[in-house]
């Protein structure tokens, strides 16, 4: 709506010149004064209407360029309930920004903002507290510490892990399901060997100890090895000076860390270096 | 959305996978199509079979207590205890004197 021309379409009536008579000899207003009052009334009516329209909507067009702004208040009350709303909508070419506040007496209210960027600054410190699409397109960036209570963090929103447990035969691998990580991820890999009773054997006398290695890898790339050794788990008196000793692989645990992984899916494995089946676990957790 | 998967071989639960993401499930199940299955009951691993340990036979040598008593009896002229030890050693031919 061309509000400017409407407001200015009716010229403001000038003040009557000094020589123009305001009243007749009998004290009544002259026709000049009545006409001036009529013009003034019409101008005020037009101005008020135009001003009211300007509060709601403004538009401007120049060639192909177009801009508009609209503000509205709305309130409605019925026996069924009441609604109040306030809105602000701005358009310039293809760019659009909007703000809307809505309240319903039956329950529910909303504040909706529409824009391709958002920023909030601390007026006291001039700190850009947070922004969306300003620092990095498409990214919500906080420039101040953010505190979220632990109990308010959703399940599996922070920790990203896979766990595998198995009774693994000698020389075989225990491999996790694939874990999808972000670029530059750090993954902590916890490896354990627990139930080793299947490795019990009759030990011969020796001064040396027997070491066992459990190779840990991701996507078949070795990370390192967890080492354990055999220890005596039982003995038997055979008579005289003879004894039998039984050994088994010692349960063990170790944590390995992989840093700087490219984004993608990875499986994590541990190889059973014991001479028989043992129970092993492997847990890979993306921590960064 | 994650799930748990178990691997059953020969009626025994030999592997258990937790926090398996939906996109990782197919790859995991494809490793051994007839062995992996979704687990909704938190099934634990089956116990590890125990090894069959070799049976070690006593070698027939006397304990120090038995030998001490036999020597003291022999000093008093009683050879029975020593003969018992000798007989047991002959019956179990192990050790350097076999």
The overall pTM is greater than 0.95:
no
Q: What ipTM is given for this predicted complex?
A: 0.74
Residue A93, domain member (yes or no): yes
The answer to whether residue A52 scores a pLDDT higher than 70 is: no
Comparing alpha-carbon positions, the chain B residue that sits nearest to A163 is B18
What is the structure's pLDDT at A84?
Answer: 84
Comparing alpha-carbon positions, the chain A residue that sits nearest to B95 is A242
Segments forming the whole domain that contains residue A135? 65-146
CB pair distance less than 8 Å for B61 and A239: yes
What is the structure's pLDDT at A238?
Answer: 78
Q: What is the mean pLDDT of chain B?
A: 87
CB pair distance less than 8 Å for A177 and B12: no
CB pair distance less than 8 Å for B19 and A162: yes
A228 or B2: which leads in pLDDT: A228
Which of A158, A164, A177 would you mutate first to test chain B, the one with the most B CBs within 10 A? A177
Residue B49 with chain A: CB contacts under 8 Å: 198, 277
Are residues A38 and A72 located together in one domain of the fold? no
What is the structure's pLDDT at A6?
Answer: 43
Are residues A73 and A186 located together in one domain of the fold? no
CB pair distance less than 8 Å for B49 and A246: no
What is the structure's pLDDT at A70?
Answer: 84
What is the structure's pLDDT at B44?
Answer: 93
Asked if A114 and A131 touch (Cβ cutoff 8 Å), the reply is no
Residue A201 with chain B: CB contacts under 8 Å: 51, 53
Share of chain B above pLDDT 90, in %: 43
Residue B5 with chain A: CB contacts under 8 Å: 177
The confidence band for A51, taking pLDDT boundaries of 50, 70 and 90, is low
> Mutual orientation of helices B80-91 and B64-75 as an angle, nearest 10°?
140
The number of C-beta contacts closer than 8 angstroms across A and B is: 103
Distance of CA A14 to the CA centre of its chain: 62
Put the strands of the sheet holding B12-21 in their side by side order.
Answer: A252-261, A185-193, A278-286, A160-168, B12-21, B2-9, B36-39
DSSP string, B7-56: EEETTEEEEEEEEEEHHHHHHHHHHSTTTEEEESS-PPPPPPPPP-PPPP
pLDDT digits (tens, 9 = 90+) for B41-74: 889 999 988 888 877 777 778 888 889 999 999 9
Q: Report the alpha-carbon distance of residue A273 to residue A271 in Å, rounded.
A: 6
Domain count along chain A: 3
The answer, for A203 touching chain B at a CB cutoff of 8 Å, is no
β-partners of residue A264 are A181
Are residues A169 and A251 located together in one domain of the fold? yes
Query: Of A228, A218, A230, nearest to A270 (Cα)?
Result: A218
CB pair distance less than 8 Å for B48 and A195: yes
Token code pair at residue A208 = 């040396």
CB pair distance less than 8 Å for B53 and A236: no
Are residues A44 and A80 located together in one domain of the fold? no
pLDDT digits (tens, 9 = 90+) for A56-107: 777 888 888 888 888 887 777 888 888 888 888 888 988 999 998 989 888 8
CB pair distance less than 8 Å for A178 and B28: yes
Element (H, E) at A192: strand A185-193
* Straight-line distance from the first to the last Cα atom of chain A, in angstroms, rounded to the nearest whole number: 56
Residue A171, domain member (yes or no): yes
Residue A189, domain member (yes or no): yes
Are residues A204 and A264 located together in one domain of the fold? yes
Are residues A35 and A14 located together in one domain of the fold? yes
When CB atoms are compared, the residue of B2, B12, B56 closest to A244 is: B56
Asked if A193 and A228 touch (Cβ cutoff 8 Å), the reply is yes
Give the length of chain A: 288
B23 or A222: which leads in pLDDT: A222
Residue A234, domain member (yes or no): yes
């Amino acid at each position: 709506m061309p509000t400017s021309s409407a407001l200015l379409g009716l010229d403001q009536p000038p003040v009557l010149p000094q020589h123009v008579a305001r009243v007749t000899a009998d004290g009544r207003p002259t026709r000049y004064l009545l006409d001036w009052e009529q013009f003034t009334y019409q101008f005020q009516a037009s101005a008020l209407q135009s001003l009211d329209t300007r509060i709601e909507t403004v538009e401007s067009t120049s060639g192909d360029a177009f801009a508009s702004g609209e503000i509205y208040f709305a309130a409605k009350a019925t026996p069924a309930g009441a609604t109040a709303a306030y809105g602000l909508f701005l358009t310039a070419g293809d760019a659009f920004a909007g703000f809307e506040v809505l309240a319903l007496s039956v329950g529910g209210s909303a504040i909706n903002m529409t824009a391709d960027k958002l920023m909030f600054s601390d007026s006291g410190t001039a700190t850009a507290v947070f922004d969306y699409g300003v620092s990095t397109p498409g990214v919500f960036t906080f420039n101040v510490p953010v505190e979220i209570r632990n109990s308010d963090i959703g399940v599996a929103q922070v920790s990203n892990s896979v766990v595998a447990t198995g009774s693994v035969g000698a020389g075989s691998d225990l491999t996790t399901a694939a874990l999808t990580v972000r670029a530059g991820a750090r993954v902590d890999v916890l490896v354990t060997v627990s139930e080793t009773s299947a490795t019990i054997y009759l030990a011969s006398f020796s001064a040396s100890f027997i070491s066992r290695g459990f190779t840990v890898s991701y996507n078949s790339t070795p990370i390192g090895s967890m080492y354990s050794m055999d220890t005596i788990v039982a003995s038997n008196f055979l008579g005289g000076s003879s004894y039998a000793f039984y050994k088994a692989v010692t349960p063990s645990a170790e944590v390995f860390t992989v840093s700087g992984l490219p984004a993608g899916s990875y499986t994590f494995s541990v190889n059973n270096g014991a001479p028989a089946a043992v129970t092993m676990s492997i847990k890979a957790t993306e921590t960064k | 959305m994650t799930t748990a998967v178990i691997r059953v071989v020969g009626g025994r639960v030999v592997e258990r996978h937790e926090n398996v993401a939906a996109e990782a499930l197919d790859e995991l199940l494809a490793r051994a199509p007839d062995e992996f299955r979704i687990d909704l009951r938190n099934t634990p691993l089956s116990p590890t079979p125990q090894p069959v340990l070799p049976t070690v036979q006593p070698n027939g040598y006397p304990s120090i207590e038995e030998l001490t008593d036999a020597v003291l009896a022999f000093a008093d002229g009683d050879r029975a205890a020593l003969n018992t030890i000798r007989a047991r050693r002959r019956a179990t031919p192990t050790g350097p004197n076999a």
